[in-house]
Amino acid sequence: MFRRLAILLVTALAWQPSPARALSPWPPATVSLWPPAGAPPADSALLCPVSTPPADGVERFPNSAAEQPEGVLVALAASPDEPADPPSGYFSRLLPGKAWAPVCDTCPRVGLQVFVGYDSFRGVTDDGWQNNGIHAGVNLGTPIPWLTELTGIAFQAGGSAGSYNWSGNDYRPDSGAQTQGFITYGLYRRPNAASGWTGGLVQDWMLNNNYGVFSQNPTLSQLRGQIGYALGPRNEIGLWGAQRVLDSTRDVVPYGVGTTKWRAVNQLNFYWHYKWAPFGADTWIWLGKPENDRLAGGGSLGDYVVGALANIPLSDAIGLYTQVQYMHPSTRPGPAGGEENEWNFTTGLAWYPGRYARSSTVAGQCSMPLLSVANNGYFLVDVNKH
């Protein structure tokens, strides 16, 4: 399953459509134009414009495909009714033969997100109990010299740390709080005016302390990939999936449990990414299927996976994020089904030091990381005993 996704990703990133493949135009809006009329057109091979145009020499004209100059920088205003200049730094490049394409807004050397929020999760390892706490982390994206210029592929890395059940518990051998960390790193590519394909491949690590009902410290890892296509500036569809690469086996002494194994759950999901308005909110919803193989035997741990993510900019530098993911247990409703629910809910605030919280299309800011840092939704876990 995951090999097929990886093959599709490599094929898509290598394929470049011809300039004749124009994307659907954006609804009519007012735009600002740079360079001014009469100046030489910008180099169409460069997909990253300057951050701010000079105050003088700026013209406005209707967004009509017939009226668009070729090879120029354009900046969307907030709406057709607000012809004022858009926030500093939000620009897209219009290539010859293109209507409004889902291209990145800016190309900073480093795109950084710092986040903190409430996090709650439960899985088969928790035997029906849920965990509540706070997590915080960073996610960074940056171009790779030469490679990004040639292919659009960039590098991302990030991590998070969370603390849960601060008041302790009465159902584990260790009654103290639980701590957990995630590390994510890999490559990604955002869509641009030359190609609507987007994708990423990262490795996730889960680091645990006082984890599950047995109070163990398993370390797990998985590969997570995504491939999609921007149908236009507001819609993107695709697939994302996860494939385990490192399991953990331990001898659990308390309660005479014995040899216990933990591993990530393989999953494949179809997603839809929607941009609600230029410089507005982004939402993703997905529906998928976990693998039909569980450690305890007897088929699949879950019937289906469903989830959603929303990123809502509150200003140029601050955004609100909310994510939920749920895996429906394959067992019938009852005690077993109640113990095998797997879900994750997280919500919080993100700070963008470079003031890149907003974007005009589904392509986003080109140096911001594409994939989120892993969490207990992206990283579902199975165990052979609970």
Residues 180 and 223 in one domain: yes
pLDDT of residue 254: 72
DSSP string, 211-270: BTTTTB--EEEEEEEEEEEESSSSEEEEEEEEEEEE-EEEEE-GGG-EEEEEEEPPEEEE
CB 134 within 8 A of CB 117: yes
Q: What is the pLDDT of residue 193?
A: 76
pLDDT given at position 104 = 57
**pLDDT value for 58:** 34
The structure tokens 């960390």 sit at 181
> Which has the higher per-residue pLDDT, 204 or 367?
204
Give the pLDDT of residue 70. Answer: 37
Say if residue 22 is exposed, middle or buried (CB neighbours under 10 Å; 0-12, 13-18, 19+). Answer: middle
Q: What angle do CA 239, 240, 242 make, to 5 degrees?
A: 145
Per-residue pLDDT of 75-110, as tens digits, reads 333 333 333 333 333 333 333 333 344 555 556 688
Residue the block writes with tokens 């889902």: 102
More confident residue, 239 or 173: 239
Do 173 and 307 have their domain in common?
yes
Q: Does 210 share its domain with 237? A: yes
150 assigned to some structural domain: yes
For residue 19, being part of any structural domain is answered with no
- Among the candidates 100, 125, 147, a domain finishes at 100
Grouping H, G, I as helix, E, B as strand and the rest as coil, residue 124 is helix
Beta strands 153-164 and 178-189 are antiparallel
Number of domains in the chain: 2
Domain hosting 62: range is 24-100
The reply to whether 267 falls in a domain is: yes
Q: Go through the chain and tell me how many residues it has.
A: 386
Q: In whole angstroms, what is the distance from residue 55 CA to residue 85 CA?
A: 10
Q: Within this chain, do residues 181 and 310 fall inside the same structural domain, yes or no? A: yes
- The 10s digit of each residue's pLDDT in 31-79 is 333 333 343 333 322 233 333 333 333 333 333 333 333 333 343 333 3
Q: Which residue has the higher pLDDT, 192 or 242?
A: 242
Same-domain check for residues 63 and 163: no
Q: In whole angstroms, give the CA distance from residue 196 to residue 363.
A: 9
Please check whether residues 75 and 175 belong to one and the same domain: no
Residue 199: pLDDT band by 50, 70, 90 thresholds? very high
Structure tokens at 124: 């088969």
pLDDT attached to residue 338: 64
Q: Tens digit of pLDDT for each residue in 276-311?
A: 988 899 999 999 999 998 888 877 788 999 999 999
